[in-house]
Amino acid sequence: MEFTPNYCHFIHFFFFFWAVFLHTHGGEQISKYKWLERRHQINICARWNEQHNYDLQQGWFNGGGFVTWENVWGIWRGITPRDGEATRQLGTLLRYLAPVVVNASEWEPHTAMLQSGIFASKFVAPAANLVAGSTGVVTVWLIVSTLSQNATGAQLTVPNPASDAFFLDLYHGSQLLPALSVSALSSSNATLSFDVEANAFGAVMMVKGDPSVLQSPALQDLLTTMKSLTAQPLSSYDDTFVVLPQGIVPVEKTFAPNVSGMVQLDAQSAWNFVINGKTYECVLFLETVGAVRFYFFFLNCLAQAIW
C-alpha cells in the first residue's frame, strides 16, 4: 500500500505519511504501517487523479485523511464538486472521531458486513477518548460502498450487545434501532439497518457502559451537522473534472547573458549530485554506509551547457 517493508523503521519517528502508491483499483486496501502501529496515520495523495472517490475511500477505510491538493506546483488539478462535498463530510466526521481512530485499543479492518460490496473497518476505544472521565466503551465502523447502486436494509450484525448499548448512524446524523434476535446458541444479536449510497460512505457508532458520550455537546453538534450535510446525496453533485483554461503570456525576448568568468559544462546523460544531510522532495533512493545515510538525486542534464 505504501513503501516496501524495508522502510518500516520510519514509523518510529514519523507519526503520519502521505500514501502515494494507492492507484490500483479493486478493493479496500489496508495500510501496512497502520497495521504495524495503530497510532500511525496516512493521508492519501493522488495529485494527478481526476476523480478521487477511490482515494477518499482508501483513506476513510483506514481512518486516515486525503490531501486536497489542487495547485500542484502551478498545474491545476481541481477537486470536483462531488469529491469536495465528500471531503467536507468525511473531514467533519474524522475531526470528531480522531481520538477513537488514532488511539484505538482495537482495530479490525474488513470486519464482517452483511452485504457484498460493502466494506468496513471497526475501531474500539475507551469512551474517555471522547469525553473525559467517561467509563464506557465506544465502537466505530467506518464504511465504504463499492456498489453501483444504493444499498438498503440490514448491513451489520453486532453479536452479544450490552443491554445498555446505544447505536448511532453518524453519517446521517440519526439514531439506529437494532433488531434483536437469538441464535441457536442462545446468544443475542443486534442487526442494524441503514442506507449506504452507491460508491459512497457510512459511519456507525455504538456506545455502551456510560451514556455521558451521548449527552456531550460535541456529539449533538456533529449529529446536527451531518444530518444537514448528507441531506443531499453525493450523486447529485457534479463529478466532472474541468481543465483550467490557460493561455500563453507574451514575454519580451531577452538578450544572451554575460558569461564571462563562468565555466561551461559539457552535456551528460545523468549528472550525479550527492547530498549528505536532510533533503526535501528530491530523494529517489537511500543507502546506508556505516552510520551515515546518503541521499542521491539524479538530474538529467539535457541542455547543451549548464552555467
Q: How confident is the model at residue 226, as a pLDDT?
A: 98
Strands (E), the chain: 16-19, 41-44, 65-66, 71-72, 75-76, 106-109, 118-126, 137-145, 154-159, 166-169, 174-176, 179-182, 188-193, 201-208, 265-275, 285-289, 292-306
User: What's the mean pLDDT in 36-54?
Assistant: 86
Percent helix, strand, coil in the chain (nearest 5)? 20, 35, 45
Q: What average pLDDT does the structure give for the chain?
A: 82
pLDDT of 244-264, one tens digit each? Answer: 887 889 988 877 777 778 777
- Sign of the C-alpha dihedral computed for residues 217, 221, 227 and 233 taken in this order: negative
pLDDT of 137-163, one tens digit each? Answer: 999 999 999 999 999 999 999 998 888
Dist CA 33 CA 6 (whole Å): 12
**Does 75 have pLDDT greater than 60?**
yes
Q: How confident is the model at residue 166, as a pLDDT?
A: 94
Question: What letter would DSSP give residue 209?
Answer: S
**Identity of the amino acid at 235:** S
* Domain 5-236, CATH class in plain words: mainly beta
133: confidence class by pLDDT, cuts 50, 70, 90: very high
**Does 284 have pLDDT greater than 50?**
no
Q: How confident is the model at residue 109, as a pLDDT?
A: 94
Domain locations along the chain:
5-236, 265-306
Q: How confident is the model at residue 36, as a pLDDT?
A: 78
Q: Torsion over CA of 127, 131, 135 and 137, rounded to 10 degrees?
A: -10
User: What's the mean pLDDT in 206-220?
Assistant: 94
**Does 25 have pLDDT greater than 60?**
no
**Does 214 have pLDDT greater than 50?**
yes
**Does 29 have pLDDT greater than 90?**
no
- Evaluate if pTM is beyond 0.75: yes
